[in-house]
Amino acid sequence: MLIFVDAPLAERHKSTLAAGAAGDSFIFRDELPGESEQREALLKADILLGNPKPVEWLEKAVNLQWIQLYSTGFEYYRHIKIPAVVTNMQDYYSQPCAETAIAGILSLYRGAGEFAALKNKQQWVGHIIRPALQTLQNKHVIILGAGNIARRIEKILQGFDCTIRLYARRSPNAVIRTTTELEAALPAADIVIACLPGTEETKGLFTREMIAALKHNAIFCNVGRGNLLADEQALTEALMHRRIGGAVLDVTQEEPLPAGHPLWSCPNTVLSQHSGGGSTSEYEGIVACFLENLAAFKNGIPLKNIVRFDKGY
């Protein structure tokens, strides 16, 4: 098989791939000099490991039988017309994403940003800061989503005795099922954590009115997709004027966030720069998942993590 790899792999990951699929040929995009060579190599390949850009290259990659994305999200590949099977990383990033959400929220509640700045200034004023600190215990949390990330977050929050309500249209675990119900529930929430995938239905789901419905000390956290917000500027203004307690944003409308963007200057705001899924073993896991699926593919066994484009997740 000819396998095209479009992923930022280190040499050790490439060696693992080669050792795990000795009879196959790998072409690594980052080893080819120009875009035209890269595109040509993709068009010849039987299998693709990675998330190529531009996505349009895939339109003519008719030899591809299987595409293993290294992401969980696949919204950019939804309109591919070629008949390849597409698999993704499903639950793989859920735990690090959940931990990034909780880390950000606890940072705000326990003053981590302030203490980091004070450390640089070598200034000990803990007794002044401590009356402003909050605890996560017993907080009322609304989670937008009922998938893998939501479940991980829910489990962690149970350790803090939080009251948790899930918003999802169809999941049996969700108690908030419509946007009308969500709007009604928001004023009681101390924290709203969004971990929805990027679909046509989630785009712009969280409206300006919903931001206005948040409590004065509520935290809005998004580890899903930046386009969940119908009006990101409304969030920026709420933060800037301290009309809400703070935000933890792993994702934003525009990524990377350009210098000068107002979100950089918002107080009580954690920007984790779409690192939510990251971990030291990130690419080891991706390579292991690919090799497992490759063995299944060759043996005619159903692949793991096949993407359901009709469902959107």
Among 47, 67, 84, 102, binds a second copy (CB under 8 A): 102
Interface with a second copy, residue 62, by CB under 8 A: no
- For residue 104, state whether it binds a second copy (rule: CB under 8 A): yes
From its phi and psi, is residue 33 left (phi > 0), alpha (psi between -120 and 50) or beta? alpha
Q: Which stretch binds a second copy (CB under 8 A): 42-50, 72-80, 133-141, 203-211?
A: 133-141
Which CB sits closer to a second copy, 159 or 204?
A: 159
User: Rule CB under 8 A: is residue 99 a binding residue for a second copy?
Assistant: yes
Any contact of residue 83 with a second copy (CB under 8 A)?
Answer: no
Which residue among 12, 44, 130, 298 contacts a second copy (CB under 8 A)?
Answer: 130
Residue 47: other Cβ atoms inside 10 A: 24
Q: Alpha helix locations (H) across the chain?
A: 11-20, 35-44, 94-110, 112-121, 126-129, 148-158, 179-185, 208-212, 232-240, 282-298
- Between 205 and 234, how does the x/- string for binding to a second copy read (CB under 8 A)? ------------------------------
Contact stretch for a second copy (CB under 8 A) within 32-40, 83-91, 237-245, 272-280: 272-280
Cβ 233 to a second copy, closest distance in Å? 18
CA distances from 266 to 68, 80, 211, 225, 252 (A): 38, 38, 15, 19, 13
* Shortest CB 8 distance to a second copy, Å: 8
Instruction: Specify burial of residue 187 (Cβ count, 10 A radius: 0-12, 13-18, 19+).
Output: exposed
Q: Radius of gyration over alpha carbons of the chain, in Å?
A: 22
